[in-house]
Chains A and B, each alone.
Chain A
Amino acid sequence: MRQYGNLDSLRLAPAQVLFSKDGRTGVARIILNRPEKHNALSVPMRARIAELIRQCDADEEVRALIISGRGPSFCSGNEINEDWGQRGPGYRRFSLTTGVRYGTDMTYGRLGFSQALSRSSKITIVQMHGYCAAAAYFMIATKCDFVIAAPDARIGALEARFLGPAGAVSHIHLNRILGTKAARRLGYTAEPISGEEALRLGLAHRCVPEAHLEKETGTFAARLARRPSGELGYLKSRILAGEGLLDSHLPVMPGLLLSHFFQTEPDELQFWKAVKAGGVAGALKEDKKRAAGARPARAAGPKA
């Protein structure tokens, strides 16, 4: 069977995605451990996450699953400059066949960590601090049952600024979670929202200062895990059935696959050229040089 990734990324993945389980409390943890890259997910990391979720699903001891990240950020999304053999020798682009294979594996198949999350029969909780961008936003945060965020977390489709929104607006789940306007604002401005705003908009269930985030998330998960497992399973199946009736599933893949064929015009940032010259970090620096525009209006809360 095809394995995505290269020798390095395949070798490193087990240490980059850690797993622990507390049989006493019924809480399991998937911990992203690639702090130097803000926990950007390589393809083998995603495959491992999907596999761990499936393991938890089959484990009767596990009732709640927390996903969190080590270092300055929860997760910056998928690794964007990864070579796992997607381009045939001598070709500049994906072939459509490669794109579709990767896309379906990602949406329904062995790389489908997002699917695995939304189909899990366990309570899933994401613990967010620092950056929670791109895939971490629309493939993890929107698929877990609970989002617990630090107040100053930076959540959103930040990659849209230089890679296009690519599914961040059309994602139906997001529209159902945030409302149509906020979904558009995040996708079309590429501006992040804070954990506090995520709480106000209904994406986050709780907002907890970073110093207490890990402990409180653990306590919260353990409390939920004490609910009778039959009841939790029943409620989860009610929710999954209800989501089915709402017909709110639109794979983000059409958007993501399209994005591999975006071309930049001469008056736009040549992001990939900048990546070639200075790596992703250099390209991000290049992007920052562009006029940011006046900061979008931050609405005041209700008047004190």
Chain B
Amino acid sequence: MITTRTKDGIATITLSDCRLLTRSDVQEGRALADALQTAGDDDGVRAIVLLAQGRDFCPPVRPVRSQQASLPDIQSAYAGVTGVYQSLAYGRKVVVMGIQGRCTGAGSALALCADFVVMGSSARIQSPFSSVPEASFTLAALIMRLNRAKGWILSDEPMSALQAEAAGLANRVVPEGRLRREALGMARSAARMPLDGIAISRVMLETYLDSQGVGKEFDHAPFYRNALPQAGLPVEGRVSAKQSQPARGRK
């Protein structure tokens, strides 16, 4: 479930279970994309805080295969122009994400798209690339620099909050108890810019991101979704019904 609360020009969007997003749940994806678009369209909102309930922002989840979701549905909810990841990366308002505990899968993919990330001091963030086809390598490389992004992805070692800060993935690290307040403080700071200024800054950012191939990479997500099962990485929704190996646990 996704809830939005707006107060003093800041919309706080809270995920009740981020694992649904890792599983490419269509309803949940649409709900988050809608919440982001709605806040983006609302002149009364100047910045967005994105949080998740529970001890972990997004714990690991074993992908399950469901026959219900069709690829086009998943596509439009997640990778399309109004899907989750593009709505976040190309959103009209600044988004500050607060991450506690373990962050994997969709949680990490969201963290690459958000503008700012605050991490709780014991939080750990793991590469989303084995489970989320929309995870953006171009954004990872622009945020962390090329070799750090590669190392994070290929070694599959989770980064601690402090490592994430040193790598440029996290802007700030605070004790878990102060996570929400810190994220809210950053959002308030961003909200002081005139609304027209925010609009023009977003255009500048979008122009830049597009020039770096960020949009194109989202366009490629369906190919990656198809390739995942062949790589032995089960994921929901793909074009052909060709069966591959059953889901296997990770060591």
The answer to whether A and B assemble together is: yes
Q: Which of A136-179 contact B (CB under 8 A)?
A: 145-147, 173, 176-179
A212 adjacent to chain B (CB < 8 Å):
no
Is A14 interfacial (CB-CB < 8 Å)?
Answer: no
- B212 near A245 (CB under 8 angstroms)? yes
B233 at interface by CB-CB < 8 Å: yes
Q: Given the known A-B contacts A235-B130, A246-B213, are A147 and B147 also in contact in the complex, defined by CB atoms under 8 Å?
A: yes
Chain A contacts of B227 at CB under 8 A?
234, 237
Q: Please indicate the chain B residues that have their CB under 8 angstroms from the CB of A178 in the complex.
A: 145
Partner of A205, one of B147, B213, B220: B147
Do B232 and A228 touch (CB < 8 A)?
A: yes
Q: Provide the bound-state CA to CA distance between A228 and B214, in Å.
A: 28
B224: nearest residue on chain A (CB-CB)?
A238
| Distance of A3 Cα from B154 Cα, bound (Å) | 36
Residues of A with C-beta under 8 A to B42: none
Contact assessment for B141 and A235 in the assembled complex, using a CB-CB cutoff below 8 Å: no
Instruction: Report Cα–Cα, A178/B145, bound state, in Å.
Output: 7
In the complex, residue of chain A having the shortest beta-carbon distance to the beta carbon of B230? A230
Q: Is A226 an interface residue (CB 8 A)?
A: yes
How far apart are the CA atoms of A236 and B153 in the complex, in Å?
Answer: 9
Is A242 close to B, CB under 8 A?
yes
Give residues of chain B (130-159) contacting chain A, Cβ–Cβ below 8 Å: 130, 136-138, 140-142, 144-148, 150-151, 153-156
**Contact, CB under 8 Å: B155 / A248:** no
A231 within 8 A of B: yes
Complex interface: chain A residues within 8 A of B148 (CB): 202, 205
In the complex, B45 has a CB within 8 A of chain A: no
Interfacial chain A residues near B129, Cβ < 8 Å = 235, 238
| CB-based contact A202/B153 at 8 Å | no
Instruction: From known contacts A147-B147, A233-B231, A234-B233, infer whether A123 and B154 are also in contact, taking CB-CB under 8 Å.
Output: yes
Report the minimal beta-carbon distance from B249 to chain A, rounded to whole angstroms: 11
**Smallest Cβ distance from B139 to chain A, in angstroms?**
9
Complex alpha-carbon distance, A242 and B136, angstroms: 8
Interface hits, A98-152 → B, CB 8 Å: 123, 145-147
The 0/1 profile, CB within 8 Å of B marked 1, for residues 199-235 of chain A is: 0001111000000000000000000101110111111
Interface residues of chain A, those whose CB is within 8 Å of chain B, are 123, 145-147, 173, 176-179, 202-205, 224, 226-228, 230-239, 241-248
Could you write out 21 A-B pairs with CB less than 8 Å apart?
A145-B154, A146-B147, A147-B147, A179-B145, A202-B167, A205-B155, A231-B232, A234-B130, A234-B233, A237-B227, A239-B153, A239-B154, A242-B136, A242-B138, A242-B217, A243-B137, A244-B213, A245-B138, A245-B213, A245-B217, A246-B212
The 9 closest A-B pairs by CB, nearest first: A245-B213, A242-B137, A234-B231, A230-B232, A230-B231, A176-B146, A205-B151, A202-B145, A202-B148
